[in-house]
Amino acid sequence: DGPVIDFAVKMHRMDDTRYMTTLLENHLVSANQVAQIAKKLAAFHRLAERIPEPPDTSWWLKQFKDVRQVIGFLSENLEDNPGEVIDQAIRVVENRLSRLAPRILQRYRDGFYIDGHGDLHSGNIFLLDEPVFFDCIEFNDKFRHLDVLDEMAFFCLDLDYYKQPELEDLFLKHYQEHYPCFIREEDQQLYLLFKCYRANVKLKVQSLKALQASNPDERRHRLQRAFKYYQLFKRYSHMLQKG
């Protein structure tokens, strides 16, 4: 007891065994848990604030092209020709983005561009009795202002990364039931475009972390992760090209 000096926050440590990334790594994420995530995310998106300004596709494309900064590093560590793959992917994405620009604007007008979480991947989810999302982006509004399909693509990238595409199918099915957001055929292409972008960012981040690693084990770990994201990035860009 005594005079109040300042307010305090009582922290409660979450159970690390319920961390979604850990559960995905061990193939322990259930269909019911994915359905719960879809329901919760759909409810959040439905009620989220709609952004006042139209999406800036030129800013988005600039972020996509920024992956070029790691071409030299990837060329030294991959047998593939990453420079050619990345340049081709950029051309494909530029073409797709141009074609999809009217649809992007229409989705904005229809209310699908929101102030969302901004960093929703398995590393920011605990699977308790109900899923707990945490650590949304606060330092830059631009990263939170996005199409709901982009937020979904970011989450589903992890399901692909851990080779559990059946969970992605389940997630998309349940989300669509709670908040229909795939309205036209073009929306499938837009979703794939966002997945390609998210793989691109992960590839760049893991490559930079490998470059900055202070010991060989950390560098090897980061390089392995970068390679997996590179494979996903390449696959998504090929799918966009065919589509």
23-76 pLDDT tens trace: 999 999 999 999 999 999 999 999 999 999 999 999 999 999 999 999 999 999
**CA dist., res. 148 & res. 154, Å (int):** 10
Q: How confident is the model at residue 121 (pLDDT cuts 50, 70, 90)?
A: confident
Q: How confident is the model at residue 10 (pLDDT cuts 50, 70, 90)?
A: very low
pLDDT of residue 15: 62
- Out of 76-90, 120-134, 173-187, which region has the weakest mean confidence (pLDDT)? 120-134
Among 235, 198, 220, smallest CA distance to 77 is for: 220
**CA dist., res. 148 & res. 52, Å (int):** 15
**CA dist., res. 184 & res. 103, Å (int):** 9
CATH architecture of 16-242: Alpha-Beta Complex (3.90)
What is the mean predicted confidence (pLDDT) over 84-96?
Answer: 98
Strands, E, within the chain: which ranges? Answer: 113-115, 125-127, 131-133, 145-147
Residue 149 has pLDDT above 60, yes or no: yes
- For the chain, what are the domain ranges? 16-242
Q: Which residue has the higher pLDDT, 89 or 120?
A: 89
This prediction's pTM: 0.90
Residue 12 has pLDDT above 70, yes or no: no
**CA dist., res. 18 & res. 24, Å (int):** 10
